[in-house]
């Protein structure tokens, strides 16, 4: 089974595709959809949608895992994150994929064993768990 993971962000939406067969996991592909500061919010949302639709068309995952909304002290940050997440959900929904949502702390706890793990720790463990030659960039899902 192929699983698409998405870490939505307006300027750098991370994505990763892994294969899961029983307890065997493997990294297939990963990357970051970058949007420069010169792009408007609406242009960024279109690019997130297009980019993820392209990833889905290329790799044909059967399901998707997307970072759930989290509490943000800054209302503007929460709004923008929600918009980026919405663009990602539309791309996944159009492809007819089942979506599972995970809180960031839950993912970190599952991968590293600690909910407050740093991105570097998560990357190190992802590399080890998936048998990768190199550590994915910090923003890749």
Rounded Cα–Cα distance for residues 23 and 92 (Å): 25
Which residues belong to the active site? 7, 67, 139
Could you tell me which of 7, 1, 42, 31 has the C-alpha nearest to residue 19?
1
Instruction: Provide the pairing of β-strand 63-67 with 12-21.
Output: unpaired
């Amino acid at each position: 089974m192929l699983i698409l993971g998405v870490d939505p962000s307006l300027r750098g939406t991370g994505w990763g595709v892994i294969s899961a067969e029983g307890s065997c996991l493997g990294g297939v592909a990963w990357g970051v959809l970058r949007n420069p500061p010169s792009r408007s919010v609406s242009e960024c949302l279109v690019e997130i949608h297009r980019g993820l639709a392209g990833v889905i068309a290329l790799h044909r995952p059967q399901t998707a895992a997307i970072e759930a909304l989290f509490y943000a002290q800054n209302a503007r940050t929460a709004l923008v994150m929600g918009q980026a997440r919405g663009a990602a959900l539309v791309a996944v929904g159009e492809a007819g994929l089942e979506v599972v949502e995970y809180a960031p702390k839950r993912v970190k706890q599952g991968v590293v064993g600690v909910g407050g793990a740093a991105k570097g720790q998560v990357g190190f463990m992802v590399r080890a768990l998936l048998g990768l030659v190199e550590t994915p960039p910090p923003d890749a899902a």
